[in-house]
C-alpha cells in the first residue's frame, strides 16, 4: 500500500522564509511521507516541488511607509492567494513569517473554510513590540512553530498551541579554515576583512548603503558584500562610489558566501537574522539599522526591549553593539568597527556560542523538528 499524500498550502515571502519552508518540506517528507505542495515560495521551496503562484519576492516589503505604495497590489495578491488556498483543497495552510501578508491570507482562508488547519512558522516578536498581535493572530492561527526558545509561552497565553523547533542557522553548513584561506587567496585579501551586509530587501539596501558607505570610507580593510539576487543590481549602483571599493558577491553562490563568512574578521550588518549567521561563524559584528521616519516614530513608541539583536536576546547579554534609528550614524558605527578591528570582539565570542547552543545546535535538525510539530498539529 502506498503512503498517504498530505496536501498542504505554503506561503513564504522572502529568502529567510524560503529557507525555512524548504527545510520544513524536506523534513515533512522524511518524517511523514508524501506531500502535495501548493503555494508561494522561492527557489529552495521549488527544489522541494513547490510551483509558486507568483514571484515570492513581491512580498519582501518591510515598514509601514514602504508598504503604502504597494498596498493595492499586495491586497490583490492576498485575495488571489486565499482563493488559491480554497481551490487547492489543502488540509492545512502553512504561512511562514511575513505576518502582514500571511495573516491576512489566513483570515480569508479561514472564512472560506473554517475547518482549515492554519499553522504559522516564526512566532511574531510580541516580546519586542505590539504584544496584542498574539491575541489578534490567535483568531486565525491554530498552531505556531517558534524559532526562539522563550517564545512558546507568549503564543500559548493567547490561545494557540506552539512548539519551539529550533533555528535553521544551527544546521546550515559553515566553511572551514582551508576554504576561508582559499577565498582570501582567490580575491587577493591579505589583511583585515570586513563583511558588509546592508539587508536583503531593496528598501533596506537603499536606506542603509549610503550610511554604511560613509562609515566605511577610508577604512584600512578589504570590504566584501554578499548580495541576494533581488538587490544585487541596486547594491552595485549604491556602492559605486565607495572607497575602498567592495567586492560584491552573488549571495546565490552558497559556497562563496560561506567562505566569505568564514574568512571575515568583523562584520557590519543590518538588524535581522543575519546576526545569527555571523554568530554561527564566530564573526564579531556591529549591527546598524534605520527606517522611514514614520516607521521609526511608531516603533520608538511601541518597542518593549532595549536591544533588537537576536544574539543579545538569546544569550541574555548585550555584547553586540547596535546603532538604530536616530543613532544609526556613520561616525558612531565607524568607532565600533575600529574597536572590533583592534581586538575588542573577543567579548562577543561567548555570547555567540551560547546563542547557538540555545537555538538547538547539535540536536535534531530544526526542519525535521518543525515537520514533526506540523504532523502532530494535523493529527489533533
Domains and CATH numbers, the chain: 5-166+362-379 (3.40.50.2000), 177-358 (3.40.50.2000)
Confidence grade of residue 2 (pLDDT, cut at 50, 70, 90): very low
Highest mean pLDDT among 129-138, 208-217, 338-347: 208-217
pTM of the model: 0.81
pLDDT of 127:
82
The CB-side HSE value for 106 (13 A sphere, CA atoms) comes to: 29
Q: Which of 29-33, 64-68, 329-333 has the lowest mean pLDDT?
A: 64-68
User: What does the alpha-carbon distance between residue 44 and residue 228 come to, in Å, rounded to a whole number?
Assistant: 14
Please tell me the predicted confidence (pLDDT) of residue 375.
95
Do residues 234 and 206 touch, judged by C-beta distance below 8 A?
Answer: yes
Residue 62 reports pLDDT greater than 70:
no
Q: Quick one: DSSP state of residue 201?
A: S
d(CA 239, CA 129): 33
Whether pLDDT at 32 is above 80: no
- Confidence at residue 1, expressed as pLDDT on a 0 to 100 scale: 37
Q: What would the pLDDT profile of 292-324 be if each residue is shown by its tens digit?
A: 777 777 777 777 788 989 999 999 999 999 999
pLDDT digits (tens, 9 = 90+) for 139-168: 999 999 999 999 999 999 999 999 999 998
Calculate mean pLDDT across residues 176-188.
Answer: 98
At residue 162, what are phi and psi to the nearest 5 degrees?
-155, 135
pLDDT beyond 50 at 223 = yes
Determine what percent of the chain is predicted with pLDDT higher than 90.
76
Interhelix angle 330-339/202-216, nearest 10 degrees: 70
Closest to 11 in 3D by CA, of 65, 80, 112, 113: 80
Q: How many residues does the chain have?
A: 380
Looking at the chain, the number of H-run helices and the number of E-run strands are 17, 12
Residue 332 has pLDDT above 80, yes or no: yes
Rounded CA separation 116/113 (Å): 6
Report how far residue 216's alpha carbon sits from residue 197's, in angstroms, rounded to the nearest whole number. Answer: 12
Cell triple for 223: 570590504
pLDDT in tens, 256-290: 999 999 999 999 999 988 999 999 999 999 999 99
What's the pLDDT at 364? Answer: 94
Model confidence band, residue 69 (pLDDT cutoffs 50, 70, 90)? low
Amino acid at each position: 500500500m502506498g503512503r498517504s499524500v498530505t496536501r498542504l498550502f505554503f506561503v513564504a515571502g522572502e529568502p529567510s522564509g524560503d529557507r525555512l519552508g524548504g527545510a520544513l518540506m524536506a523534513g515533512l517528507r522524511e518524517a511523514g511521507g508524501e506531500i502535495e505542495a501548493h503555494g508561494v515560495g522561492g527557489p529552495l521551496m521549488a527544489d522541494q516541488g513547490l510551483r509558486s503562484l507568483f514571484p515570492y519576492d513581491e512580498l519582501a516589503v518591510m515598514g509601514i511607509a514602504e508598504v503604502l505604495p504597494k498596498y493595492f497590489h499586495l491586497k490583490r495578491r492576498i485575495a488571489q492567494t486565499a482563493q488559491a488556498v480554497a481551490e487547492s483543497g489543502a488540509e492545512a495552510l502553512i504561512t511562514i513569517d511575513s505576518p502582514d501578508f500571511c495573516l491576512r491570507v489566513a483570515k480569508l482562508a479561514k472564512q472560506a473554510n473554517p475547518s482549515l488547519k492554519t499553522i504559522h512558522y516564526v512566532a511574531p516578536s510580541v516580546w519586542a513590540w505590539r504584544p496584542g498581535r498574539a491575541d489578534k493572530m490567535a483568531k486565525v492561527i491554530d498552531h505556531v512553530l517558534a524559532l526562539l526558545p522563550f517564545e512558546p509561552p507568549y503564543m500559548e497565553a493567547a490561545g494557540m498551541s506552539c512548539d519551539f523547533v529550533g533555528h535553521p542557522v544551527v544546521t546550515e553548513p559553515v566553511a572551514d579554515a582551508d576554504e576561508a584561506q582559499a577565498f582570501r587567496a582567490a580575491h587577493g585579501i591579505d589583511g583585515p576583512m570586513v563583511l558588509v551586509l546592508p539587508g536583503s530587501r531593496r528598501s533596506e539596501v537603499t536606506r542603509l548603503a549610503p550610511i554604511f558607505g560613509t562609515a566605511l570610507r577610508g577604512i584600512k580593510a578589504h570590504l566584501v558584500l554578499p548580495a541576494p539576487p533581488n538587490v544585487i543590481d541596486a547594491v552595485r549602483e549604491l556602492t559605486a562610489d565607495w572607497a575602498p571599493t567592495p567586492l560584491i558577491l552573488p549571495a546565490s553562490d552558497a559556497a562563496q558566501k560561506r567562505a566569505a563568512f568564514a574568512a571575515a574578521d568583523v562584520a557590519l550588518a543590518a538588524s535581522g537574522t543575519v546576526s545569527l549567521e555571523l554568530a554561527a561563524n564566530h564573526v564579531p559584528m556591529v549591527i546598524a539599522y534605520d527606517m522611514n521616519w514614520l516607521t521609526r516614530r511608531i516603533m520608538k513608541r511601541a518597542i518593549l526591549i532595549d536591544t533588537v539583536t537576536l544574539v543579545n536576546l538569546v544569550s541574555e547579554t548585550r555584547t553586540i553593539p547596535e546603532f538604530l534609528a536616530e543613532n544609526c550614524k556613520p561616525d558612531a558605527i565607524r568607532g565600533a568597527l575600529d574597536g572590533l578591528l583592534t581586538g575588542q570582539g573577543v567579548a562577543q565570542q561567548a555570547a555567540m556560542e551560547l546563542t547557538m547552543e540555545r537555538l538547538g545546535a547539535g540536536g535534531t535538525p530544526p526542519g525535521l523538528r518543525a515537520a514533526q510539530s506540523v504532523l502532530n498539529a494535523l493529527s489533533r
